[in-house]
């Protein structure tokens, strides 16, 4: 329980700091990210339990990575992360999950995710800000990648890349669990102010 409270306090601090850096009011951030002002006030007070989609919309709007909102300060030059040490940010009813492993630093960060997709289970993602590029590398099993309503089969040993500013989703295919590594390449600088 203490770990959850500490993580929520870190998230609250990071959202408030990123919003301040971006020069956005709570109203404006809420409008751009499609998150209610009440939810943002609660979040910045370390109250509530934001879902994965809300975190992605806030990160996109603020021009930062999801992990930049969730992580404390880096402790050294090298970071080794175990998949089992991280809580899934999304879990599906059939056992699917997505874990954000880490985000690289620098002007154009890259998020590294581990996903498990059960056969037939789907995660629909909203479009990201312009300039975001995603890759999915299937390590075992098979998935269906949906971009702009078009389905693409991606099998073990294959990697697909696409512009993340289009509607997209990921669905487990075949008869077994699909394991994949996803990278989300973020553009440098803050999000557009339009």
Whether the model clears a pTM of 0.75, i.e. scores above it, the answer is no
Query: Count of CB atoms within 10 A of residue 159's CB?
Result: 12
Helices (H) and strands (E) in the chain, counts: 5, 10
Residue pair 142/154 in contact by the 8 Å Cβ criterion: yes
Query: Count of CB atoms within 10 A of residue 21's CB?
Result: 12
For the ranges 64-68, 73-77, 132-136, 161-165, the lowest mean pLDDT is seen at: 73-77
pLDDT at 66: 77
Residue pair 147/69 in contact by the 8 Å Cβ criterion: no
DSSP, res 83:
G
DSSP, res 191:
P
Residue 21's pLDDT band, with cuts at 50, 70 and 90, is confident
pLDDT at 192: 38
pLDDT digits (tens, 9 = 90+) for 123-135: 999 898 899 999 9
DSSP, res 165:
T
Mean pLDDT of the 150-175 span? 96
Does residue 162 register a pLDDT over 60? yes
pLDDT at 194: 34
Which residues pair with residue 172 across a beta bridge?
119, 143
Residue pair 66/54 in contact by the 8 Å Cβ criterion: no
For the ranges 102-106, 109-113, 132-136, the lowest mean pLDDT is seen at: 102-106
pLDDT digits (tens, 9 = 90+) for 80-97: 777 766 778 889 999 999
Burial 124-143 (b: 16+ CB within 10 A, else e): ebeebbebbbbbbbbeebbb
């Amino acid at each position: 329980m203490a770990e959850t409270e500490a993580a929520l306090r870190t998230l609250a601090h990071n959202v408030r700091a990123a919003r301040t850096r971006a020069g956005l009011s709570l109203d404006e951030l809420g409008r751009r990210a499609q998150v209610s002002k009440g939810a943002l006030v609660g979040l910045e007070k370390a109250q509530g339990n934001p879902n994965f989609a809300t975190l992605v919309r806030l990160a996109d709007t603020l021009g930062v990575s999801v992990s930049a909102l969730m992580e404390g300060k880096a402790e050294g030059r090298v970071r080794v992360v175990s998949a089992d040490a991280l809580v899934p940010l999304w879990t599906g009813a059939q056992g699917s999950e997505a874990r954000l492993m880490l985000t690289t630093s620098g002007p154009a960060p890259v998020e590294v995710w581990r996903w498990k997709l059960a056969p037939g289970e789907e995660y629909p993602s909203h479009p990201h800000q312009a300039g975001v590029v995603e890759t999915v590398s299937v390590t075992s099993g098979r998935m269906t990648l949906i971009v702009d309503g078009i389905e693409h089969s991606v099998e073990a040993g294959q990697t697909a890349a696409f512009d993340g500013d289009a509607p997209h989703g990921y669905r487990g295919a075949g008869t077994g669990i699909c394991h994949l590594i996803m990278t989300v390449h973020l553009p440098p600088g803050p999000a557009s102010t339009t």
